[in-house]
Amino acid sequence: MTKLDSYIGGSVLIYIMAVLGIILGLASLFAFIDEISNVTDTYTVIDVLSYVALTAPRRLYDLMPMAALIGCLISLGGLDSNSELIVMRTAGVSICRIVWSVMQPILLMMVFSVLIGEYVTPLTEAKAQANRTLARDSGDAQSAKHGLWHRHGNEFIHINAVQPGNLLVGVTRYTFDKERHMLASSFSKCAQYCDERRWELYEVTTTYFRNVGQGTKAYTEVINIPSEQWNIALQPELLNTVLMIPESLSISGLWGYIHYLKGQGLNNGRYWLAFWVKLSQPLVTATLVFMAISFVFGPLRAVTIGQRVFTGVLVGFTFRIAQDLLGQSSLVFGFSPLLTVLVPTIMCTLVGFWLLSRAN
């Protein structure tokens, strides 16, 4: 059986890698076309190519389930077209045994995918976002169109970019009282991390709004200082989390930020959704592969390769759209984001079992 596992598993893995390479190339091309419209004197085509290359691991991670589905359909469909699956069944190899032979390389892919999502994507995505922000903006608070916003207590913070070495570029802070009156507005060229509760701000310009909401004449006072200590429990790792979209964060990063937002009394529903989606991706990949196997032994047994590819794309997109719709619905209607993952997965698994039971 080892030779059979190697033969089936090797064929499946080769086709999955080929499909993954094709759709990753197409996704990167579309990302380049979309980003090229933002080219300026400072944000050049070379910067766009760098951004697309650095964000490629995130796209690879997202496309892994789709590639596994289509690759399995093509590979097993080819074996069936050559009557090899019929010979295996005639020789006494059960469908369960063939399923296990297919799942062995899928398990390796799951491990590979998790490693990319946990250790590669967060680093490359943070680098890509920081480089793009610095290239697009001059570092001036007034010209910063991108960057990140963050709230800490009564202070609203905008940061142009987070750079390696625990360095922040372009830090703008707005401080409000309990009645939402602005008390101060401050801009710093950069900030350097010192310890877990302290940053050092440089080239600080602060505008104080005096007597606001007190019934007397309000006035402003502007103070410029070369440096200032900023006492805030905001670690660089947390800022990297805020900078990126939830879908590009690691599972551990999402878990930490979810509880940070809870401690701040802020809504963390979007991050719970991303957490459950990422945590369940190996299960989703296995489910889609199981569906591909059931299709080959069921309704797609005697069709062309084009029909199999079309079916794979259709099923993959339908699954993704259903998951996205349920995810957004969970944020609007307040039900658990875990259901957005479990419902499509369970339905696909039941369909797969039903088709395989008919094949038997």
pLDDT digit string (tens) for 79-107?
888 888 888 888 888 888 888 889 999 99
**Contacts of residue 348, Cβ cutoff 8 Å, sequence gap at least 6:** 287, 288, 290, 291, 319
Instruction: Band the pLDDT of 52: cuts 50, 70, 90.
Output: very high
- What average pLDDT does this structure show over 16-24? 94
Q: Determine the Cα–Cα distance for residues 24 and 56; give it in Å rounded to an integer.
A: 8
Q: Is the distance from CB of 68 to CB of 289 less than 8 angstroms?
A: yes
Assess whether pLDDT exceeds 70 at residue 1. Answer: no
Assess whether pLDDT exceeds 60 at residue 138. Answer: no
Annotate 69-134 with three-state secondary structure.
HHHHHHHHHHHHHCCHHHHHHHCCCCHHHHHHHHHHHHHHHHHHHHHHHHHHHHHHHHHHHHHHHH
177 backbone dihedrals φ, ψ, rounded to 5°: -95, -175
pLDDT digits (tens, 9 = 90+) for 253-279: 888 888 888 877 778 888 999 999 999
38 backbone dihedrals φ, ψ, rounded to 5°: -95, 5
Domain ranges across the chain: 141-235
Report residue 121 as tokens. Answer: 């994507």
pLDDT (0 to 100) of residue 359: 66
Reply yes or no on domain 141-235 having CATH 2.30.30.
yes
Average pLDDT, the chain: 85
Assess whether pLDDT exceeds 90 at residue 161. Answer: no
- What average pLDDT does this structure show over 42-69? 92
pLDDT (0 to 100) of residue 265: 78
Q: Which residue has the higher pLDDT, 212 or 143?
A: 212
- What average pLDDT does this structure show over 120-146? 72
Assess whether pLDDT exceeds 80 at residue 47. Answer: yes
Report residue 85 as tokens. Answer: 């699956």
pLDDT (0 to 100) of residue 142: 46
Share above pLDDT 90 across residues of the chain, in percent, rounded to a whole number = 26
Instruction: Band the pLDDT of 22: cuts 50, 70, 90.
Output: very high
Assess whether pLDDT exceeds 70 at residue 306. Answer: yes
pLDDT (0 to 100) of residue 122: 86
Annotate 313-340 with three-state secondary structure.
HHHHHHHHHHHHHHHHHHHHHCCCCHHH
Report residue 181 as tokens. Answer: 């009156």
Q: Determine the Cα–Cα distance for residues 272 and 280; give it in Å rounded to an integer.
A: 12
Instruction: Band the pLDDT of 30: cuts 50, 70, 90.
Output: very high
